[in-house]
Amino acid sequence: MTDNGYIITIDGGTTNTRCLLFDPQGKKAAEAKRRIGVRDAAVSGSAQKLKQALKECLETLLRTEGIGYERIRVIIASGMITSDAGLAEIPHLSAPAGLEDLVRGTAAVKMREICPVPIYFVPGVKNGMKDVNLDNYASMDMMRGEEVECLAVVDRYFRGRPMLLILPGSHNKFAAIDGQGKIAGCLTTISGELLAAITNDTILAKSVAHRFAEEESYDREWMLAGYREACKTGLGRACFSGRILSLFVEKDPRKIANYLLGAVLQGDMDALWHSKAVPCEKDTDIVICGENPLRQAMIDLLEYEGGFVNIRCFVPEEGIPASAAGAYLVAKRIGGSAV
């Protein structure tokens, strides 16, 4: 190992595993991905395929750069791979938690069947609650993987005041950052999964041609129409109204897909307005991550609600996603202390 060696980040999610290799100057040198995640391990009851996929990714990175493991400074993993369904279960840290807390909570695990050097696993973060019960459970939440995304956003945009981070995806995540730049709490919805189920497994599937709203066909007017209808009548009726629209108003499935996107996201906005774990004032600094059209839809909804003036977008630089950028920050702090 060398203090000026390479760093590898592992983003181990539910369905995919992505590894990035950073050179000694902090530049992205190589990338490797596999469509295998912790869900495969959970379904099969064995982590063998996940381990093999990770081993292949790491070896691909080294081969691409023409180096060996002796040049690797730190290998660091985040995401669901650190859960009980992953490769090493690392307990959540309780909020508030920042970079130094995550560095201290990171655990080195030797997995010789994957690689000859330890892998550092970053813990997730949970809301700082004790004695969760039926009266207060709505204020409880947790994250695995999003904590390193938060680190990347804080590193780029934090200016000494509270922030709200919006991380769209299969599970939309809202994270509050306090005045010290620490994760203060989070709120999660399954709107991405709901949208996938509605799009593929309901009577609306024909209306949208089994397709989601896409960046090139994003339509603010139709997205807001779905949002407003869900505000008035609820998600179930708003979704069926999408079928009515497709039969009597608009045949283009792309328009209906945008309508459904807005209808589903209405629940996210409602959850945000009522959340005690993630306060959101009109003057809060808001940063939205993720890809379009989800990112743009969240911007449009906040602007539609009015009064939010400090909205920014986190766009990856040089092909480095927020998850890898944040994990890299932890790895730099760990430095040459691996054993």
* Chain segment 24-53, per-residue pLDDT in tens: 999 999 999 999 888 887 777 788 899 999
- How far, in whole angstroms, is CA 45 from its chain's centroid? 25
pLDDT > 90: percent of the chain? 83
Domain positions in the chain: 6-157+319-334, 159-308
Average pLDDT over residues 145-163: 95
Provide the 3-class DSSP secondary structure of residue 16. Answer: coil
Q: How far apart are CA 8 and CA 116, in angstroms?
A: 14
Higher pLDDT, 14 or 41: 14
- What mean pLDDT value characterizes the chain? 93
CA dist list (Å): 48 to 36, 37, 67, 130, 280: 11, 11, 26, 36, 43
Residue 105 has pLDDT above 90, yes or no: yes
* Shared fold status for 6-157+319-334 and 159-308: yes
pLDDT at 1 (0 to 100): 39
Angle formed at CA 107 by CA 102 and CA 113, multiple of 5 degrees:
140
Burial of residue 84, with CB atoms counted within 10 A of its CB: 0-12 exposed, 13-18 middle, 19 or more buried? exposed
Section 305-322 average pLDDT: 88
pLDDT for 44: 77
Report the pLDDT averaged over residues 139-143: 95
Residue 338: the pLDDT is 39
> Residues 10-37, buried b or exposed e (16+ Cβ, 10 A)?
bbbbbebbbbbbbbeeeebbbbbebebb
pLDDT exceeds 70 at position 227: yes
Handedness of CA 204, 221, 165, 187 (dihedral sign): negative
Give alpha helix (H) positions in 96-219: 99-105, 146-157, 191-201, 204-207
Give the lowest-confidence range in 38-52, 179-193, 214-228: 38-52
> What average pLDDT does the segment 215-230 reach?
98
d(CA 274, CA 316): 30
What local confidence, expressed as pLDDT, does residue 266 receive?
A: 97
Which of the listed CATH numbers 3.30.420.310, 3.40.640.10, 3.40.50.620, 3.30.565.10 matches domain 159-308? 3.30.420.310
**How much is the pLDDT for 3?**
54
Higher-pLDDT residue of 48, 107: 107
Domain 6-157+319-334 CATH superfamily? 2-keto-3-deoxy-galactonokinase, substrate binding domain (3.30.420.300)
Q: Give the Å distances, CA to CA, from 330 to 39, 76, 137, 306.
A: 26, 8, 31, 37
pLDDT at 337: 44
When pLDDT is averaged across residues 327-335 and rounded to a whole number, the result is 93
Closest CA to 189 of 311, 259, 91, 272: 272
- Can you tell me which residue has the tokens 């590898």? 8
123: pLDDT strictly greater than 80: yes
Report pLDDT for 339. 34
pLDDT at 279: 82
pLDDT digits (tens, 9 = 90+) for 253-299: 999 999 999 999 999 999 999 998 898 887 889 999 989 999 999 99
Pairing relation of β-strands 17-22 and 6-12? antiparallel
Supply the pLDDT for residue 249.
97
- Asked whether residue 2 carries a pLDDT value surpassing 60, the answer given is no
Report d(CA 212, CA 54) in Å as an integer.
30
pLDDT at 116 over 50: yes
pLDDT digits (tens, 9 = 90+) for 44-85: 778 889 999 999 999 999 999 999 999 999 999 999 999 988
Q: Average pLDDT for residues 125-150, to the nearest whole number? A: 94
pLDDT over 70 percentage in the chain: 98
Rg of the chain over Cα atoms, rounded to whole angstroms, equals 21
CA separation for the pair 336, 7 (Å, rounded): 11
Specify the range with the lowest mean pLDDT, choosing from 83-87, 108-112, 220-224, 294-298.
83-87
Q: Print burial letters for 260-274: b (CB count within 10 Å at least 16), e (below 16).
A: bbbbbbbbbbebbee
Query: What pLDDT, on the 0 to 100 scale, is given for residue 42?
Result: 75
